[in-house]
A and B are shown apart, each in its own frame.
Chain A
Amino acid sequence: DSGVTQTPKHLITATGQRVTLRCSPRSGDLSVYWYQQSLDQGLQFLIQYYNGEERAKGNILERFSAQQFPDLHSELNLSSLELGDSALYFCASSKDRGGEKLFFGSGTQLSVL
């Protein structure tokens, strides 16, 4: 158990809908990272937050947004969903800004039908 909790584990929704994925980092970790894992794109970095502020941005679509709350949990919001958004979304956390060692949650499997 990595100590990173993601909910829900599975999510099935329709095109055009909006969903929210939630992540609770390990106790004491200030950084949260979001990754998307799909068969054709592999593991893609989406965004990082450190202590409530956005720190780094990767291949995140404009339809997607994230935030980190004062209690350090994070949410990834995906809107106007398309079939191609179906993927496994991972959250990871680390103690520092630099992310020398990431601890990953078990992911949220999103299926857009």
Chain B
Amino acid sequence: GDSVTQMEGPVTLSEEAFLTINCTYTATGYPSLFWYVQYPGEGLQLLLKATKADDKGSNKGFEATYRKETTSFHLEKGSVQVSDSAVYFCALRYSSASKIIFGSGTRLSIRP
């Protein structure tokens, strides 16, 4: 079945470091891909999305490119801040379906 696999956390970085959180997916069709972020004590928020191959989603300095050939949607940021500390979820969804399938989440901690 369809699934999303993320790198295990926690990931700990120093402020201004470069961030990559890996995400790969298994899908029978061509889903839309998402990154959601969950700040402490809050619900998930949509961070960015890409709806087709080679699309790049971007928001708040984060980027991810939909790579069909490698079935990946890695999240990157050039210079992280303490305020980026959160749990990040990669997800997929087909346009014909309601269900969003989430990965297990990657906890990110940024040291000042």
**Chain A interface residues (CB < 8 Å from chain B):** 2, 4, 31, 33, 35, 42-43, 45, 48, 50, 55-56, 58, 90, 92, 97-107
Contacts and interface: CB of A to CB of B under 8 A. Distances in A.
Contacts of A98: 95, 97-98
Interface in B54-112: 89, 93, 95, 97-105
Nearest to A35: B102
Contacts of A100: 32, 93
B101 A45 contact: yes
Given A43-B89, A43-B105, A99 B100 contact: yes
A103 B46 CA distance: 8
A100 B101 CA distance: 12
Interface of B: 32, 41-46, 49, 89, 93, 95, 97-105
Nearest to A4: B43
Given A43-B89, A43-B102, A43-B105, A92 B97 contact: no
B43 to A, nearest CB: 3
A81 B15 CA distance: 43
B43 A90 contact: yes
Nearest to A43: B102
Q: Which 6 A-B pairs have the closest CB atoms?
A: A104-B43, A42-B104, A43-B102, A56-B98, A104-B44, A48-B98
Nearest to B6: A42
Contacts of A50: 98
Nearest to A58: B99
| Most-contacted residue by chain B among A31, A99, A102 (CB, 10 A) | A102
Contact of B46 (A45, A58, A102): A102
Contacts of A106: 41-43
| Most-contacted residue by chain B among A43, A56, A103, A107 (CB, 10 A) | A43
A7 to B, nearest CB: 13
B100 A102 contact: yes
A100 B98 CA distance: 8
Contacts of B98: 31, 33, 48, 50, 55-56, 97-99
Contacts of A48: 98-99
